[in-house]
Structure 1
Amino acid sequence: MLRSLYSGISGMKNFQTKLDVIGNNISNVNTYGFKKGRTIFQDLYSQSITGASAPAGTMGGTNPSQVGLGSQLASIDTIHTGGSLQTTGRNLDLAISGDGFFQVAETGKFGAPLYTRAGNFYLDNKGDIVTSEGLYLKSTGGGKITIPTTAKSMSVGQDGNVSYVDSTGAIQTAGTIELAKFPNVGGLEKSGSNLYIATTNSGTAVVAAPGQSGIGLVQAGSLEMSNVDLSEEFTEMIVAQRGFQSNTKIITTSDEILQELMNLKR
């Protein structure tokens, strides 16, 4: 009887984790570049009551008899499918159409950059292209991209080329945005603020200009929305809620049966 109690407890814990992931997905439904999470369950080990036997003589073979001991969390996956693009008309709002990540870092730390799909960039008072937190956008030259403060206008092409019109009216190139692609994008680790860090299982990043080495193109004047589907999340929420309730029912039913066993002594 105690086995069913602990199986119910394991199920409750897992569905609580599933609800945590769903809640995080819903809270980030309007977060630019956010990638939703998904919980995967698997069974725990099973207790063998009887083993399998092969046919012998006049008797046929028998199958094993096992009692499962609950479930456990197998993984929490990050789903890196592309989100829809929202047109903003702002030059420094950049979206990646296809695979790849923007690389951002503090000055001098481009050897170990952070990665993001959120392309809402800005210019600081020195003309450097930065994130909302002040991290510099990396160029193919391995440094930051700077627009002179005297520039009349600037634009970003699909190939990542950043150009501007100087004070004399001539078109100049400030640099080319360098994107990164990973063999196992699911191996990246979220570090908050729409940023990812590489791990030992993400593989070595392939870096190139947009449109090269299988990397997507840059769409200026657009931002990538979250890939969270509210209808899917609310459906999964119902499934998690009912699963949680079912496991609580297992516990209460087991408790009632234990109470009946205790009453036998009276």
Structure 2
Amino acid sequence: MLRSMYSGISGLKNLQTKLDVIGNNVANVNTYGFKKSRVTFSDAMNQTISGASAATPNRGGTNSKQIGLGSTIATIDTIHTQSSLQTTGRDLDLGISGDGYFVVKQGDALSYTRAGNFYLDDNGTLVNANGLKVQAYKVDENGKRSQTIGDVAVNVNAILPAVTTTKISVSENLAADAIDGSVFSQQIKVVDAKGKEQTATIYFQKASNNKWNVFDAEPAALGDTSGTSPKPFTSLNFDANGQLVAADKNQPNKTINITSGKEDDTNTPADESVQKAQLDFDFSKLTQMKGSTTALVNPNGNKEGKLESFNIGAAGEVNGVYSNGLITTLGQLAVAKFSNSSGLTKTGGNTFQESINSGTANINIPGEGRGVIASGSLEMSNVDLSEEFTEMIVAQRGFQSNSRIITTSDEILQELVNLKR
């Protein structure tokens, strides 16, 4: 009789815990990146009145007799299912489509989160709502990614220095079926030693079946003997397969004309002048095939540029857009993956930390077996209100039923006490 009362008490305690978890889920229905929890129960100890007996030739076996002693909490699980992404249009709002967690840091401690509402602090460092620093891989000017993660900073006052043009790469195709004397021109922009952008025009003139001459001024018609035609600064020879002969692929230090604007003492643009520049030419990707002439001339170098904006791509790359038209990668966000994400420990502030059962964080860039970044979106809470309210009703009825067990046991005890009268 008293066992039933204590069983009812255990049910009340466990169902109250279930209601606590449901209440926390409902309270976080609008919390970005929140992962709901659930409670599962198991029966507690069982008192064995008599054990089981085996069958004999003269008598069959019997089962054991056991009385349960109530219920207990088996698990409180965190459900890490993907929730839907809500579009916000804000550049620093990031969602992960797929598996993985953003890595944030406070001091030397790493935490992990699915809430991607990030901000820039006064130093330009990318942080979350609580000031934890978002971790990313550094990317140098050559596009090489570092092996370790660190803070990512966006200097809104950054200036990309001017780089003098030293090399021009020429690719695509020169038409093999063009008639001799045909001219194809391509205007290019080069940056001089003072960081100023100047203009150069390259002319390709077909000289014979497998030969083209290259000029930095407009050539005269083929066969002109007036002596006024400029001389080519190089010639290109192709084999029968339309490939450049080895000697013509790389031609260093060719001097060409560039056009620059002169300025007077009042900084008012004046007449243009022609200057000489020595540039290395790379023709290795140029072919001569039938079809159209599409020779593409691509110089290196750039003018000075100021950071105008930045954006974050699907692979987590933080791209800075400069006023000179260049886009450079400032860093690449890190994403962590766990062998048992349900084993992570909630630490408040939409963050998780490793536990002894979660496994070690496997950190890499997005897309390497991990989810990709959805810029301008935030992951919503995965709490389903209809499910939570249904579970609340079940818990409420269970609580009432266990209360009735206690009151019924109390009435029986009252009858027992009244036997003394």
Q: Aligning the two structures, in what range does the TM-score lie when normalised by the shorter sequence? A: over 0.9
Match of 1:253 in 2: 408
The one-letter code of the counterpart of 2:322 is: D
> In structure 2, what is the Cα distance between the partners aligned to 1:126 and 1:66?
68
Q: Is the CA contact (8 Å cut-off) linking 1:42 and 1:71 kept in structure 2?
A: yes
Deviation at 1:168, TM superposition (A): 3.5
Looking at structure 2, the residues matched to 217 and 47 of structure 1 have their Cα atoms a distance apart, in angstroms, of 54
Aligned positions of 1:145-156 closer than 5 A: 145-150=152-157, 151-156=307-312
Report whether the alignment pairs 1:264 with 2:419: yes
String of CA shifts for 1:29-64, please: whole Å, max 9, x gaps. Answer: 000000000001111110011110011132100011
Look up the equivalent residue of 1:259 and give its one-letter code. Q
1:207 maps to which of 328, 351, 363: 363
Conserved 8 A contact 1:181-1:207:
yes
Structure 1 segment 35-46 matched on structure 2, within 5 A: 35-46=35-46
Q: Tell me if structure 2 keeps the 8 A contact 1:126–1:149.
A: no
Letter in 2 for 1:135: L
Q: Which moved more, 1:90-99 or 1:51-60?
A: 51-60
1:194 aligns with 2:191: no
Helix, strand or coil at the partner of 2:150: coil
Q: Amino acid of the residue matched to residue 190 of structure 1?
A: K
Spell out, residue by residue over 1:1-43, the C-alpha distance to the aligned partner (whole angstroms, 9 max, x if none): 1000000000000000000000000000000000000001111
Which structure's residues are more often strand, by fraction? 2
1:172 and 2:179 are equivalent in the alignment = no
* Structure 2 partner of 1:116: 113
- Unaligned regions of 5+ residues in structure 2, if any? 138-147, 158-306
Q: Could you give the per-residue CA deviations for residues 66-125 of structure 1, whole angstroms, max 9, x where no partner exists?
A: 10000001111000001110000111100000000000013x52xx31000000001112
What TM-score comes out, normalization by structure 2 length?
A: 0.61
- Structure 1 Cα separation of the partners of residues 117 and 79 of structure 2: 21
- Provide the C-alpha distance between the structure 1 equivalents of 2:153 and 2:55, rounded to a whole number of angstroms: 78
Q: Which residue of 2 aligns with 1:84?
A: 84
SS of 2:404's equivalent?
Answer: helix
Q: Cα RMSD (Å) of the superposition?
A: 1.0
Please list the CA deviations of residues 100-158 of structure 1 after superposition, one character each: whole Å capped at 9, or x if unmatched. 0000013x52xx31000000001112211111111111012411111121221111111
Q: Give me the whole-angstrom Cα distance separating, in 2, the residues matched to 1:226 and 1:190.
A: 15
1:184 equivalent in alignment to 2:328: no
Tell me which residue corresponds to 1:59: 59
Structure with greater Cα Rg: 2
What is the aligned partner in structure 2 of residue 143 from structure 1? Answer: 150
TM superposition outliers: structure 1 runs of 4+ over 3 Å: none
Name the CA distance, whole Å, in 2 between partners of 1:264 and 1:125.
80
- CA deviations over 1:195-233 (Å, ceiling 9, x no partner): 101011110111110000x21100000000000000000
Structure 1: which 5+ runs fail to align?
none
CA offset at residue 166 of structure 1?
2.6
Bigger share in helix: 1
**TM-fit CA distance, 1:169:** 3.5
